[in-house]
Structures are given as structure tokens and as C-alpha cells.
A and B are shown apart, each in its own frame.
Chain A
Amino acid sequence: MRFDWVNILATLIFVSIVVTLILAVASYFAYKVREARRPRTAAELRQEGQGKVFFEEYHPAEKSNQQPDESARVPLNVR
């Protein structure tokens, strides 16, 4: 049985080109999905107009002028 090297090589080349193209396109879209899911930095969030980045901002100067919040106190379990 004679091997047709040209056809074997052509098949290998054809498969590698097609697989590489599929890999390339899939990788590109995987990269876009990864970028879309990347956590945004505080600067980017502000740029997008999301005002409050933190749940609650702590201002020591303001807190010292207010009455202590009784409901926020957690009783200590002292044995």
C-alpha cells in the first residue's frame, strides 16, 4: 500500500488550520468574557457613575459629635 504523503500532509495541515482558527476565535471570546467579569477598580466605578464605592464610609470627625447608638452595642458575655 502506497502512502500518499501529499494527501496525508494536506489533511494534517487542513485540520491544524481549522482547529487553530476555532481556538483563536474561542480564545478571543473567552478573553472578552474574562474582561467583562473582571472586578472593577474604584476609579473605573466612579468613572461609570456609580457614586458610592463602599457600603459605608467612616468619618471619625463626624462620629465623635454624635450620640452613641445604644442599639449598636453588643452586650459582652462576661463570665
Chain B
Amino acid sequence: MANEEITTPNNPEPRPIGRQPLRPITQLLISIAIVVLVVIATLFLFKYPQKLGPIFITALVVTLGTFLLLLILRHFIVIWFSYLHARELAHEEIPESYPFISIVVPAYNEAAVIQSSLSSLLELRYPYYEIIAVDDGSTDGTYEKMKEFEGNHYGVRVSVYRKENSGKADALNYGIRRSKAQLVVCMDSDSRLTPDALRYAVYHFQDPNVGAIAGNVKVINRHNIWTKLQALEYIEGLNIVRNAQAFWRTVNVVPGPIGIFRRTAIEGTGGYDSDTFAEDFDMTVKLLADGWKISYEPKAIAYTEAPESLLDIIKQRYRWTRGVLQALRKQKRLLTRSNGNITTPLSLWYMIFEGLVWPAMNIFANLFFVWIALIYGMTKLLVLWWLLLTVLDLLIAFYAIVMEREDLSLVLYSIFYRFFYVMIIDVCKVFATLEELVGLDMSWGKLARKGRI
């Protein structure tokens, strides 16, 4: 197969479509108005608490009580359905045949990690697959490092392409167009798959209605508090939720580090779009809109390098939040149309709840109990609130870690997970949501790779 080498000047990064950003002066005025409102509300609450009527206080307490009940309900529903899905998978059968798979690896300036990633792909215990590596106009020698792997390696063909820089979505589409396989794996270039990842994933495609499988993403660089907290978050916050959603075959995010797709399903959606910053979520929603089922395989594991500093974490979560909002705006009709499958809009509403409503409620609840403790001296309420949430977090962390046979020491981090780590992420999400609603510009920006995989 001839490999194409295209070296043209960089194109501008794709901009989100469908929404014109507000003028800078308008953005500034809205930001100032928000800050002024928050300051006035804070001063009022602390200087004149007696002016708040009993009805207002009661309404606040009822709202928080409802939030707590929803939280408890959410935890138990997630645990229950993930348990049911795990029982289903316990009876999985070895497939009669293994379809040919193309693994598409897009990369932009990933020289630090690309060779480790490609090496791991050559060690997969799967009989029929190829690797399509696509360099998206890198400037740090990524293409040259990819070229060292080009050729045939014990029956695995590695094809390397270079294209002009136009974003991850285009790079994925470029690779998918050059695939003739029945199944396509789309992964990140900083991910490392476990040898049996594909063998476990293909089992689900025996159901012709399944369009994609979400893999299990784990953090590999667990050597400081930030990465250990993210490791816990991936296990108890992301993977177990996908496990529960998989019971209904409506997983709402096929993660970028590892997603296995039926090639006809991707082609039916028109491929990845470049108009959001969460192309993985966008593609997942498009597949659900087309009526495909999406499941989750906990043994299709991909190790990825998590951000190691707080600012890098905020950068990543900021992009995720705004990308999810952009994708939801594109597919907002799905929130009210079921297309014969009620679980799809429910899954998307859950995404809105967990991504937008929950962070704001979490911050508000913490501030409310702090205020109650300061003004009325009700310290027991504050302690009770903290105890309840911590016990819930310990419970779900223990369950998730035991289910995945993970490092039990991570359970200890759940003690300050919610009131430290999650609070920081929630504040970032709230700001990102406000910025997306206001229409502030944003760019993709790259995280620095340390080469830990």
C-alpha cells in the first residue's frame, strides 16, 4: 500500500460552528455582573441572615435534601446495574471467529509517547489486525518515529500516513477511510492497550445492533496525589458508570483512549466532526441517534497518561466540559425524542445532570452548610453532611475497586476525594459552562506528555 506524504502549510484549527461568540465587551460586562451579584449575595447572607424568611430557608433545606437523596439513589442505581452487567459478562462465550480489525492511531506532536504506544499495539494477542498510524502534521518528529514501525511485523501490517494539520477528528476520519476492516479501533496516541483488549471487545459485536464498545481507561502514571486521585476518579466515577449504562446498551461516552466501532456504524454517521472539542462524546451521541447500541467491556483496557499537575487537569476538564456542551447543543433534539428507545434520552439527561447540575449543586451545598455552621452555629449539620458523602464515596470506591481488582490503597483517597478533588473539578466545570454559555473563544491546546506509558 502506497503511503501518502503530504506536507502543506498548517491550516487553522477548526472552530466550533453554529454559535457566534459574543463581543469581548459583552463578555466582560456579563463577567463583571456575575462577580458583582455573587459578592452582593455573599455580603447579604452574612450581614443580614435574619432577613431571609423561614420559607426561603425551608426551600433551601428541601432542595439540598432532594439533592442528597438523588445522590444516594444515583450511587445505588450505578452499583446495582453495574453488578447486573458484570453478571452478564461472566457468562460471555468465546466468539467463533475473530473479524479483521483496523487500529487507527492519530497523533499530533506525540514524539514522547508514540513509539511506546505503537509497540504495545504490536504485542496484542489478536489474530487479524492492522495498524493505521496518522500523523496530523506534527512538528516534533512524531512522523519520523512512526515511520520506524512501518511495514509488516509478524503478520501485522503497520501503515504510516502524514497529513496536513487539521485536528484529531479529521485524522481519525483519514485513517478510517483507509481501512477495509469490519471493526475499527480508534485510540489516542498516548494510550497503551493490554494484550487481550481486542479479544474481549469483539464478543459484544456478535449482536448486530451493537455499533460500538467503550473500553476501560485506566491511569498508568500514579505517582503523585493528582494522578492517584484521577486513577480513583476513572475507576469509581467513569468506568463504573459505563458499566451500569452498558446494562442498557446506552453508554453515553466511548472514550478517546479506546473505542471499538463497527466501521459501517461510523460511516453511517458521516465520520467524526470537527466542530466540538469532545469528538468522542459527539460520535457516541451520533451513534445513539442512529439507533445503535453501545456497550462497555471492562477487560478491554487502555492505560493512559493522566495530567500530573493541577493546571493541566483543569485544562483537560475545561475542554471536556465545553466539548460536551457543544455536542449536546448539536444533538439537543435527542433529549426529547426517544426513537423507540427511551434509554437514549435518559442517558443524555443523566449526562447533563452529572456534568452540569451536580457540580453546581455540590458547590452550593458545601457553601450552604458552611454558612449554616457560621451563622447559626449548626456545626453538627456540617459534620453530618460530610460524613454522609464520605461514607457514600467510600462505599462506591470500595465496590468499584474490588470489581476491577484494582489497588485497594486507592480507597483511602476517597476520604478527601469529594471535598478536595471533586470540588476543584466542579468549580472548573461551572466556569467552563458559564464560558460556553457566554460564548468565549477557546482553542484545543496540547497537554505536555511526559512519556510515562
Residues on A lying within 8 angstroms of B by beta carbon are 6-7, 9-11, 13-14, 16-18, 20-21, 23-25, 27-28, 30-31, 34-35, 38, 41-44, 46-47
Residues on B lying within 8 angstroms of A by beta carbon are 9-13, 165, 310-311, 314-315, 318, 363, 366-367, 370, 373-374, 379-380, 382-383, 386, 416, 419-420, 423-424, 426-428, 431, 443, 445
Known A10-B382, A24-B423; judge A47-B12 contact (CB<8 A): yes
With both beta carbons as reference points, the residue of chain A lying nearest to B426 in the complex is identified as: A24
With both beta carbons as reference points, the residue of chain B lying nearest to A10 in the complex is identified as: B379
A18 to B366, CA, bound (A): 9
Known A10-B373, A10-B382; judge A43-B419 contact (CB<8 A): no
Chain A residues contacting B318 (CB-CB under 8 Å) are 31
A42 to B8, CA, bound (A): 13
B314–A31 touching, CB < 8 Å? yes
Chain A residues contacting B13 (CB-CB under 8 Å) are 43-44, 47
Known A7-B379, A44-B13; judge A17-B311 contact (CB<8 A): no
B370–A17 touching, CB < 8 Å? yes
Return the 8 tightest CB-CB contacts between A and B, nearest first.
A10-B379, A24-B427, A47-B12, A43-B10, A24-B424, A31-B314, A20-B423, A43-B12
Residues of A contacting B: mostly? helix
Q: Which of B10, B12, B424, B428 contacts A20 (CB 8 A)?
A: B424
Chain B residues contacting A17 (CB-CB under 8 Å) are 366-367, 370, 419, 423
A20–B445 touching, CB < 8 Å? no
A-B contact count (CB 8 A): 78
Chain A residues contacting B374 (CB-CB under 8 Å) are 14
Interface pairs (16), CB distance under 8 Å:
A6-B380, A10-B379, A14-B382, A17-B370, A21-B363, A21-B366, A21-B367, A21-B423, A24-B426, A24-B428, A27-B310, A27-B424, A27-B428, A38-B445, A43-B13, A44-B13
- Nearest-Cβ distance from residue A41 to partner chain B, whole angstroms: 7
- Nearest-Cβ distance from residue B371 to partner chain A, whole angstroms: 10
B370–A14 touching, CB < 8 Å? yes
Known: A20-B419, A20-B423, A44-B13. 13 other contacts (CB 8 A): A7-B379, A9-B386, A10-B382, A10-B383, A13-B419, A21-B363, A21-B367, A24-B423, A28-B427, A43-B10, A43-B11, A43-B12, A46-B12
A47 to B431, CA, bound (A): 26
A25 to B182, CA, bound (A): 47
A6 to B363, CA, bound (A): 22
- Nearest-Cβ distance from residue B421 to partner chain A, whole angstroms: 9
Interface centre among A11, A13, A14, A16 (most CB of B within 10 A): A13
A14–B373 touching, CB < 8 Å? yes
B12–A23 touching, CB < 8 Å? no
With both beta carbons as reference points, the residue of chain B lying nearest to A25 in the complex is identified as: B427
B370–A18 touching, CB < 8 Å? yes
A60 to B286, CA, bound (A): 49
A13–B386 touching, CB < 8 Å? yes
With both beta carbons as reference points, the residue of chain A lying nearest to B165 in the complex is identified as: A43
A72 to B44, CA, bound (A): 71
Q: Which of A11, A16, A31 contacts B419 (CB 8 A)?
A: A16
B424–A9 touching, CB < 8 Å? no
Chain B residues contacting A16 (CB-CB under 8 Å) are 416, 419-420
- Nearest-Cβ distance from residue A59 to partner chain B, whole angstroms: 15
Chain B residues contacting A46 (CB-CB under 8 Å) are 12
Interface centre among A14, A16, A38, A42 (most CB of B within 10 A): A14
- Nearest-Cβ distance from residue B288 to partner chain A, whole angstroms: 32
Chain A residues contacting B315 (CB-CB under 8 Å) are 31, 35
B311–A27 touching, CB < 8 Å? yes
A46 to B431, CA, bound (A): 28
- Nearest-Cβ distance from residue A53 to partner chain B, whole angstroms: 10
- Nearest-Cβ distance from residue B84 to partner chain A, whole angstroms: 36
- Nearest-Cβ distance from residue B261 to partner chain A, whole angstroms: 29
A43 to B13, CA, bound (A): 7
- Nearest-Cβ distance from residue A9 to partner chain B, whole angstroms: 5
A60 to B383, CA, bound (A): 74
- Nearest-Cβ distance from residue A71 to partner chain B, whole angstroms: 32
A41 to B11, CA, bound (A): 11
Q: Which of B314, B383, B428 contacts A13 (CB 8 A)?
A: B383
